[in-house]
Amino acid sequence: MPLSTSQKQKLRDWMKSKGVKPTCASCGESDWGAGEIISSPVLAPDGVQAAESHVPMVQIICINCSYVMVYAAVPMGLP
């Protein structure tokens, strides 16, 4: 799900409030763009997907090399 304008602002505000200024682990640049909110299924100890449990995450994408970092979206109030 693409971020809305208000969600992009929320993300910028959250990053600023936490002092988050990521350096790309792949190329060393520090210019990032907002990606999308994605969701990863939660697995039970046996490796089977726990029913309908997902962890929403927001992508931050390096403008230079397209490396993707993800942050938990719920604490930011995004989903």
Q: What is the Cα–Cα distance from 52 to 61, expressed in whole angstroms?
A: 27
What minimum distance in Å lies between the beta carbon of 62 and Zn ion?
3
How is residue 30 written in tokens? 């520090």
Q: How far is the CB of 61 from Zn ion (least distance, A)?
A: 9
Taking the complex as a whole, the smallest distance from the CB of residue 3 to Zn ion amounts, in Å, to 20
Please give the Cα distance from 11 to 6 (Å, whole number): 9
Q: Quick one: 40 or 66, whose CB is closer to Zn ion?
A: 66
Closer to Zn ion by CB, 24 or 76: give it: 24
**Distance in angstroms (rounded) separating the CA atoms of residues 36 and 59:** 5
Which residues bind to Zn ion, rule: CB under 5 A?
A: 24, 26-27, 29, 62, 64-65, 67
For Zn ion, the closer of residues 4 and 30 by Cβ is 30
Torsion sign over Cα 37, 59, 9, 4:
negative
